[in-house]
Amino acid sequence: ISVDALKPSDTFPRRHNSATPDEQAQMANYCGFDNLNTLIDSTVPKSIRLDSMKFSGIFDEGLTESQMIEHMSDLASKNKVFKSFIGMGYYNTHVPPVILRNIMENPAWYTQYTPYQAEISQGRLESLLNYQTVITDLTGLPMSNASLLDEGTAAAEAMAMCNNILKGKKKTFVIASNCHPQTIDVCKTRADGFDLKVVTVDIKDVDYSSGDVCGVLVQYPGTEGEVLDYGEFVKNAHANGVKVVMATDLLALTMLKPPGEFGADIVVGSGQRFGVPMGYGGPHAAFLATSQEYKRMMPGRIIGVSVDSSGKQALRMAMQTREQHIRRDKATSNICTAQALLANMTAMYAVYHGPEGLKSIAQRVHGLAGVFALGLKKLGTAQVQDLPFFDTVKVTCSDATAIFDVAAKKEINLRLVDSNTITVAFDETTTLDDVDKLFEVFASGKPVQFTAESLAPEFNNAIPSSLTRESPYLTHPIFNMYHTEHELLRYIHKLQNKDLSLCHSMIPLGSCTMKLNATTEMMPVTWPSFTNMHPFAPVEQAQGYQEMFTNLGELLCTITGFDSFSLQPNAGAAGEYAGLMVIRAYHMSRGDHHRNVCIIPVSAHGTNPASAAMCGMKIVAVGTDAKGNINIEELRNAAEANKDNLAALMVTYPSTHGVYEEGIDEICNIIHENGGQVYMDGANMNAQVGLTSPGFIGADVCHLNLHKTFCIPHGGGGPGMGPIGVKQHLAPFLPSHPVIPTGGIPEPEQTSPLGTISAAPWGSALILPISYTYIAMMGSGGLTDASKIAILNANYMAKRLESHYPVLFRGVNGTVAHEFIIDLRGFKNTAGIEPEDVAKRLMDYGFHGPTMSWPVPGTLMIEPTESESKAELDRFCDALISIREEISQIEKGNADPNNNVLKGAPHPPSLLMADTWKKPYSREYAAFPAPWLRSSKFWPTTGRVDNVYGDRNLVCTLQPANEEQAAAAVSA
C-alpha cells in the first residue's frame, strides 16, 4: 500500500475546491489552454506574480478537519470564561437553543445574501421587519434601520446625522461623560474626518452657549448604571437648536420610559443582550432609530412594506438610492453590510419571549441588582450609589482594586472604574448564587449574615414612577403567538423556506465571493469558551483568543505581503475607513496636514468614495480606458497636479471589471512618487491569494473582507469583518481602544494609534475562527489552488456564455480574472429587456441573479468562486443560455415585448395556480423552463415587488395583523 493511501481521510482542500484535476484540465482545454497553470500564467501579469506563498509552522500543509477541531478545542481551553458583571454595553444572555441551532447554526439562514432580490428573500425581510418593530416599539421612535455594526459606531453615525441635519453649519458635538468609553472614543475618531469637534463633559455641565453645537449624546442608563430623567435636558437642548442622541439598552426599555417620550431625536444601541452571545465583542446587531423626518439621512439598510405585481403585500429594502454605490461621495455614511443574521436572532428572541417574557427577564435582572444593592448596604463595607438604576450598581469603597482582585479569584469579573469605584452589572444569566458570591467578595472576609434569597422580599423597585414605562410594546400578534418551541421552530422554518441561500444553488454575485462556509469552520463560533467572553475581560483570561489573533495576524501578513494587521474593523466599509484613517494619521505625523486628496478610479468599489469623504478627503476621480482599465495617463496627470496634496489612491485589484490591470505596479509607483499612499480594496482578494499580494504589488494598506475571500458567511446582510493590513511604516497608526489597548499584530515597535474604529477591541472576534480555520485547513497550497480554480471557473463560464452575451472586459490575453461582466444593454433596444428582467427570470430557474447594473449600468457581474462544482457552473450557464433564447423570441416578434415570460417573472405559486391565467405563455413554461426544476424547485413567494410603491409609501414596521394572525393570537 502506498504512503499516500495511509494519509488522513479528512483533508479539507478537496472539499472546498470543487473542480477535480480532470475537470480542471477539461475546463482549461475548453478555454483554449493546455492546463490550469497555463491559463493562470496568461491571466495574472508577470510583473506582479509571486513564485509561491509559504506559511510558517503547522499551517503550511494545512490541517485536516479533525486536526482543526482539536486545535480549536485547545485554543478554547485557554480561554477562562469568568462570570461577567462588567456590563458597559455587553451582557451574557441565554441564547434559546431553538434559535441557536435553527438560525445561527443553520446554513439556510447564514448563507443568504443581502436581500436585494426581494422576491426570494421574503423570510428574512419579515424577520428584519420584526427587528425594526422591536426597536421602534421599545425606543418610542417611529423608524429604525435593520442594523448597524455596534453601539459605538451607531453613535458615530448619529453624530454624523446631527451634522447633516444642521447642514454642517454647527461643528461641535457634545458627549456626556456618562456614555461608555468605547462609544466616546469611536465618536472622537469619526469626528476628525468630518471636521467636527467633540466635547466630553459631565451631564450637568453641558453648555450650548457657543451656538455651535449640532447634537448631544447621552447614555440611558448611564455607563455606571444611573437612570436619569432627561425630560428637562431634552427640552433645553431643543430650545438651543441641538439634536439629542440617546444611547440606550433594549432590556432596560421594557421597564423604563422610552427615549421617544423624552423627545430624543435619535436613539442608538445594541440588540446583543436579546439572544446574541457577547462573543468577545461581537458580532451583534446595533440599531439607530429616529423620526420619519430624517429618514433620508439615516444610515443603514431599511426594510419597507410594498406590494407585488398582484397587489399582495411584499417586503423589500427601501430607499436603496441612499446606498453608497449610488450616492458615492455624496453618501452620508459608508455603512453597507451590517449585522442581518444577528438582527434575525434578536428579533426571534423577542418573538419567542414576547413582551411579557422580556419584561419578566428585565424585572428579574433589575431585581437581582436591587437585592445586591440592598445586601451591600447591610454589609456596610462599601457605599452604594443613590441614583435610580436598572441593572448596574455603582459601588464606592476605599480600595476597589482589592475587591476586584478578590472577585477575580472567585472567577468573577467586575468593572474597575477607578481606584475607589466598581460597577456590577447583572444580566439574564445571573443567579441568586452569583449574588451570594458577590456578597462574599464585598464582605472583605467578614461573614455574611444573609442570603440573596432571604433579602428578595425586601426589594421591590428602584425605578421612580416618573421614569417607569407605561406605554405598551410588541403588541403585534407575531410577538404573541410563538412562545412554545414547536411554534417558534415552525415560524423560523416558514420564513426560511421563502429564502434562497447557498443551500439551494450557487449565488454568483460579482464582487461578493459567495463561497462555501464549511461546517468545520462554523463549529467553534458557538462554543461557550468563545461565545461567553466579555470583550473587556482581562486579556490574560482570553489567551485562546489572543493566540488565535496572533496566528491569524501572521497568516494574513503572509497572504497579503504586509507587516502588521489590525483586527478591529468589523465590516468591509469599516476597514476601508480605517485604512484611509491610517494613511491620514501617517501624513499628519509627518507634518503633511495638507495631504487630503484621494484619487479614486471610477471602477472603484461603491463604498470607496463614501469612506474617503468620511476621512475629510477631497476626491479626484480618474476614468478608465476603452478596455475598462484605469487610464494611467489620466491618473499620472491627476497625481502630478496634486502632488503637494496627494494623500491616497484607492484601487481595487483585480478591478471591479474582472480584469488584472497590467499597469498596477506602475500605478503604485506613480502615487508613491507624488507623495501618496496606496490603499487597496480587498474585496477582490479571492483572485490574489497565493498568486500575488497587495504588498507585493505595491499597496501600503489593504482591508480584507473576511466575509468574502475568507469564508465568513454573508448572513443575509452581515456579519462581516474588515481587518486591515499595512506596511511597516503605517503600522504605528493602527487603531487602539480606550478600555483594552490594541494595535498591530505583529506588534510594531512604536505606536501612535489613529483612534478607535469599533466598539470592541478586536471587532467581531467571535467570527474570526471561521476565517482562521479556513486558512489553516487549506494551507498555502490549497489557498493558491482556490485562487486558480476561481479564475478557471470564471473563464469557463465566460467562454460558455460568450456566444450568447457579450463579455464586456477581458485581460490582454483574452482571459478574465475571477469574475466577469456580461453586457445586456443591447437587449433593451432589441427586446426591451433589462438586467432586472433577467435577474427575476433567473428566480424561476432557481437562481439568485448576479450583481446587477454595477459597476456598469445595464450589465450583470458574475463571480462563481472555486467552491462551485462544474455541474453547478454548467447549470447556471444553461439557465442564462435558456433565458437568452427567451429574449430571442421577443426579438423575433414571437413574444410580446410587454407581456412575456421575463417581464412576468418571477412566477410564484399563487399566480400560477390562480383560477385564471391570461398570460400568452403556458404556466408550465413559466414555472418549469429547465429540466432540473422537476427534481427540485425553489418557489418565489411573491410576484415582482413594486419598488416605486415602496419608496413612495414608506412603512418600516409590522402592519396591523391580518385576520388569520389575529385569530391565531386569540387562540394562543
Partner 1 sequence: FSSVVLKDLKYADSHEWVKIDGNKATFGITDHAQDHLGDVVYVELPDVGHSVSQGKSFGAVESVKATSDINSPVSGKVVEVNEELTESPGLVNSSPYEQGWIIKVELSDAGEAEKLMDSDKYSKFCEEEDAKH
Q: Which stretch binds partner 1 (CB under 8 A): 260-268, 320-328, 547-555, 868-876?
A: 320-328
What residues between 53 and 72 interact with partner 1 by CB under 8 A?
none
3-state secondary structure 551-613: HHHHHHHHHHCCCEEECCCCCHHHHHHHHHHHHHHHHHHCCCCCCCEEEEECCCCCCHHHHHH
The secondary structure of residue 940, as a DSSP letter, is P
What are the backbone dihedrals phi and psi of residue 633, each rounded to the nearest 5 degrees, phi first?
-65, -45
Nearest to 228 by CA among 206, 256, 200: 256
To the nearest whole angstrom, how small is the minimum distance from the Cβ of residue 521 to partner 1?
37
Rounded Cα gap, residues 219 and 245, in angstroms: 9
Q: In what order do the strands lie in the sheet with 286-290?
A: 143-144, 286-290, 266-270, 243-249, 213-220, 172-176, 197-201
Q: Which stretch binds partner 1 (CB under 8 A): 216-224, 324-332, 493-501, 655-663?
A: 324-332
Tell which one of 78, 80, 101, 327 touches partner 1 (CB under 8 A): 327
Identity of the residue, 282 or 950, whose beta carbon is nearer to partner 1 in the bound complex? 950
Q: Most distant CA pair in the chain: distance in Å?
A: 93
Q: Contacts with partner 1: how many residues (CB under 8 A)? A: 15
Rounded Cα gap, residues 847 and 560, in angstroms: 33
Nearest to 347 by CA among 247, 452, 421, 274: 274
To the nearest whole angstrom, how small is the minimum distance from the Cβ of residue 950 to partner 1?
8
Rounded Cα gap, residues 51 and 43, in angstroms: 15
Q: Are 755 and 734 in contact (CB under 8 A)?
A: no
Rounded Cα gap, residues 698 and 693, in angstroms: 9
The full DSSP string for 419-459 is TTEEEEE--TT--HHHHHHHHHHHTTTSPP---HHHHGGG-
What residues between 328 and 357 interact with partner 1 by CB under 8 A?
330
Identity of the residue, 296 or 594, whose beta carbon is nearer to partner 1 in the bound complex? 296
SS3 344: helix
What residues between 441 and 460 interact with partner 1 by CB under 8 A?
none
Q: Which stretch binds partner 1 (CB under 8 A): 323-331, 409-417, 799-807, 865-873?
A: 323-331
Q: Verify binding: residue 825, partner 1, rule CB under 8 A.
A: yes
Identity of the residue, 101 or 825, whose beta carbon is nearer to partner 1 in the bound complex? 825
Identity of the residue, 240 or 947, whose beta carbon is nearer to partner 1 in the bound complex? 947
Tell which one of 21, 34, 74, 326 touches partner 1 (CB under 8 A): 326
To the nearest whole angstrom, how small is the minimum distance from the Cβ of residue 952 to partner 1?
5
Identity of the residue, 54 or 828, whose beta carbon is nearer to partner 1 in the bound complex? 828
Q: Which stretch binds partner 1 (CB under 8 A): 317-325, 344-352, 488-496, 811-819?
A: 317-325
Q: Are 954 and 319 in contact (CB under 8 A)?
A: yes
Q: Verify binding: residue 830, partner 1, rule CB under 8 A.
A: no
Identity of the residue, 239 or 948, whose beta carbon is nearer to partner 1 in the bound complex? 948
Rounded Cα gap, residues 566 and 363, in angstroms: 40
Helices (H), 812-902: 825-831, 835-844, 870-891
What are the backbone dihedrals phi and psi of residue 681, each rounded to the nearest 5 degrees, phi first?
-80, 125
Q: Are 302 and 956 in contact (CB under 8 A)?
A: yes
Q: Are 586 and 729 in contact (CB under 8 A)?
A: yes
What residues between 929 and 948 interact with partner 1 by CB under 8 A?
947-948
Identity of the residue, 332 or 815, whose beta carbon is nearer to partner 1 in the bound complex? 332
What residues between 851 and 880 interact with partner 1 by CB under 8 A?
853
Q: Verify binding: residue 239, partner 1, rule CB under 8 A.
A: no
Identity of the residue, 64 or 947, whose beta carbon is nearer to partner 1 in the bound complex? 947
Rounded Cα gap, residues 351 and 896, in angstroms: 46
Rounded Cα gap, residues 650 and 700, in angstroms: 11
To the nearest whole angstrom, how small is the minimum distance from the Cβ of residue 171 to partner 1?
20
**Per-residue interface string for the shown chain with partner 1, residues 588-607, x marking contact by CB under 8 A:** --------------------
To the nearest whole angstrom, how small is the minimum distance from the Cβ of residue 158 to partner 1?
21
Rounded Cα gap, residues 642 and 160, in angstroms: 28
SS3 850: coil
To the nearest whole angstrom, how small is the minimum distance from the Cβ of residue 684 to partner 1?
25
**Per-residue interface string for the shown chain with partner 1, residues 267-296, x marking contact by CB under 8 A:** -----------------------------x
To the nearest whole angstrom, how small is the minimum distance from the Cβ of residue 729 to partner 1?
39
**Per-residue interface string for the shown chain with partner 1, residues 950-969, x marking contact by CB under 8 A:** xxx-----------------
Q: Verify binding: residue 729, partner 1, rule CB under 8 A.
A: no
Rounded Cα gap, residues 867 and 785, in angstroms: 11
To the nearest whole angstrom, how small is the minimum distance from the Cβ of residue 858 to partner 1?
8
Q: Which stretch binds partner 1 (CB under 8 A): 319-327, 547-555, 605-613, 693-701?
A: 319-327
To the nearest whole angstrom, how small is the minimum distance from the Cβ of residue 241 to partner 1?
15
Identity of the residue, 278 or 821, whose beta carbon is nearer to partner 1 in the bound complex? 821
Q: Verify binding: residue 321, partner 1, rule CB under 8 A.
A: yes
**Secondary element (H or E) of residue 548:** helix 543-560
Q: Give the number of other Cβ atoms within 10 Å of residue 604's Cβ.
A: 28
Q: Verify binding: residue 320, partner 1, rule CB under 8 A.
A: yes
Q: Which stretch binds partner 1 (CB under 8 A): 318-326, 502-510, 767-775, 935-943?
A: 318-326
To the nearest whole angstrom, how small is the minimum distance from the Cβ of residue 166 to partner 1?
13
Identity of the residue, 436 or 837, whose beta carbon is nearer to partner 1 in the bound complex? 837
Q: Verify binding: residue 543, partner 1, rule CB under 8 A.
A: no
Q: Are 422 and 414 in contact (CB under 8 A)?
A: yes
Nearest to 596 by CA among 579, 613, 610: 613
Identity of the residue, 71 or 316, whose beta carbon is nearer to partner 1 in the bound complex? 316
To the nearest whole angstrom, how small is the minimum distance from the Cβ of residue 321 to partner 1?
4
Identity of the residue, 316 or 788, whose beta carbon is nearer to partner 1 in the bound complex? 316
To the nearest whole angstrom, how small is the minimum distance from the Cβ of residue 83 to partner 1?
50
Identity of the residue, 825 or 919, whose beta carbon is nearer to partner 1 in the bound complex? 825
Rounded Cα gap, residues 672 and 684, in angstroms: 22
To the nearest whole angstrom, how small is the minimum distance from the Cβ of residue 836 to partner 1?
9
Q: Which stretch binds partner 1 (CB under 8 A): 54-62, 321-329, 539-547, 705-713?
A: 321-329
* Cell of residue 141, nine digits: 421612535
What are the backbone dihedrals phi and psi of residue 798, each rounded to the nearest 5 degrees, phi first?
-60, -40
Rounded Cα gap, residues 187 and 33, in angstroms: 54
Identity of the residue, 715 or 835, whose beta carbon is nearer to partner 1 in the bound complex? 835
Q: Give the number of other Cβ atoms within 10 Å of residue 262's Cβ.
A: 21
Report the interface residues with partner 1, using CB under 8 A: 296, 319-322, 326-327, 330, 825, 853, 947-948, 950-952
